[in-house]
Amino acid sequence: MEILIYAGQLILGLSILVALHEFGHFLPAKLFGMRVEKFFLFFDAPYALVKKKIGDTVYGIGCLPFGGYVKIAGMVDESMDTEQKERMKKPPEPWEFRAKPVWQRLIVMVGGVTVNLLLGFAIYAMVLFVWGREYLPVENLTYGVSPSQLMKSEGFQDGDRIVDVEGRDPKTLGDVSLAILIDGARHVTVERQDSTGELEKKTIDLSANIQEQILESNDKVLFSPRFPFYVDSVLADNNAEKTGSFRKGDRIVGVDGQPARYFQDFVEAVKDRKGDRVHVTLLREGHTVEVPVDVDANGIVGLQPRSPSEYFTFSTEEFSFLGSIPAGIKYGWQRLKDNVSSFKLLGSSAGMKQMGGLIAMSKAYGPKWEWQRFWEMTAFLSLALAVLNILPIPALDGGHVVFLLYEAVARRPANQKVLEYAQMAGMVFLLTVIIAVNGHDIVKLVTGRL
């Protein structure tokens, strides 16, 4: 069932984004009097699943779910069909792309990117209007944080309270992680207890290569909220239930004689004990009880903790319809800047390994169909699609823009053969990237790293 949910969310999200992106090319082309011969969701090679001709345009759905395209008469595009090549040898017709002024052609080429940008901002605005924004402020983390093993090696300790991060004013732990990974923050100030129990501030200086270390370690969470581990429920069909010894309200305080008073401490204590038996110490009605339980192949025993909302005060922001618009643009703009900044991470081998394809995108939507998460992820992908498409790579919108800017400056179009060869090279490059990232997804899925 989870596979169907993953696939369904990805297909719906990409269909919305691709259809509207192509409509961003289609609409100005029609307005400027260009003949649009095809409007396809996904690629129709080797065949189309559905197609219907209305007027001069064939509308359809292709069999290769890697994007979509609009075929405009008189334009060298990704289809590279024989008919188009022959047409380009003849003088331009008034309704062809190449017959129109450069400024009109530029508007057509940036139309898709423009729609994706506006769509991303609009979705974020509507998410804020409908659901608002609930988050856990870093200052409300009563028990501090539980750092990942990598962050502990950098000097963080369990119970640290983060008070300042270089280069960003973090509201949440997610903001702290983005500041380190994306913005390159190297100095984090924490508040912790000294040996006498007094609070002191300490600035932690991170390693120069901390970004690469994070990517290599595949740490998805650098900091987690620290909170006591009270059992809320015993999960059915798990080893904890089989013992019959755990109850709702038990407070877990240790594993194999070592302290584990907080939930993350317990998780760390058992996750590498797969297949082993551990002895869990708990407090129940003022008494100490020790329970032996086996750790399963996933590194869990089957105990559900109380919700963090019982320990912390969450902040909630609600937005009017008009108020959600600037808030959505501001939030989307920050996500867009983070997206662009993350490109510098691709300069390392560890960064290249983080690239993902369709499987990674489907996983990002989550195993449950939650509309808020669906729309937030779709908005993120819309902005990412805008950034990718404007890159100056032949076969992408940005590649066409480069040649049009050349034509505007040189006052003559680029050589037709150069355009065709650039288009072919761009398609080969993109297909290579698509195969590589999706193949990498499969490898990560098989090895359990996805």
pLDDT digits 0-9 by tens, 17-29: 999 999 999 999 9
CB 12 within 8 A of CB 65: no
- Residue 345: pLDDT above 80? no
Per the CATH hierarchy, to which homologous superfamily does domain 231-308 belong? PDZ domain (2.30.42.10)
The whole-number pLDDT of residue 425 equals 86
The whole-number pLDDT of residue 91 equals 82
Q: Which residue has the higher pLDDT, 222 or 168?
A: 222
Question: Count of CB atoms within 10 A of residue 67's CB?
Answer: 20
- Residue 395: pLDDT above 60? yes
Task: Kindly list the distances between the CA atom of residue 448 and the CA atoms of 298, 376, 390, in Å, as whole numbers in the listed order.
Answer: 11, 26, 33
Question: Mean pLDDT, the chain, as a whole number?
Answer: 89
Q: Which residue has the higher pLDDT, 355 or 224?
A: 224
Nearest CA to 70 out of 103, 44, 100, 32 is that of: 44
Question: Count of CB atoms within 10 A of residue 255's CB?
Answer: 21
- Give residue 347's pLDDT band: very low, low, confident or very high (50, 70, 90): low
**How confident is the model over 354-371, as a mean pLDDT?**
86
Fold equal for 138-223 and 231-308: yes
Query: Would you kindly state where each structural domain of the chain is located, as residue ranges?
Result: 2-128+376-447, 138-223, 231-308
Distance in angstroms (rounded) separating the CA atoms of residues 120 and 72 = 26
Distance in angstroms (rounded) separating the CA atoms of residues 186 and 225 = 21
Percent of the chain with pLDDT over 70: 95
CB 26 within 8 A of CB 374: no
pLDDT digits (tens, 9 = 90+) for 401-443: 999 999 899 998 888 788 878 888 888 888 888 788 778 778 7
Nearest CA to 108 out of 341, 447, 401, 446 is that of: 401
The whole-number pLDDT of residue 284 equals 93
- Residue 353: pLDDT above 70? no
The whole-number pLDDT of residue 107 equals 97
Question: Taking the domain 138-223, which CATH number applies?
Answer: 2.30.42
Q: Which amino acid would we find at residue 166?
A: E
- Residue 227: pLDDT above 80? yes
Span between the terminal Cα atoms of the chain, in Å: 18
Q: What is the pTM of this model?
A: 0.85
pLDDT digits (tens, 9 = 90+) for 187-200: 999 999 877 778 89
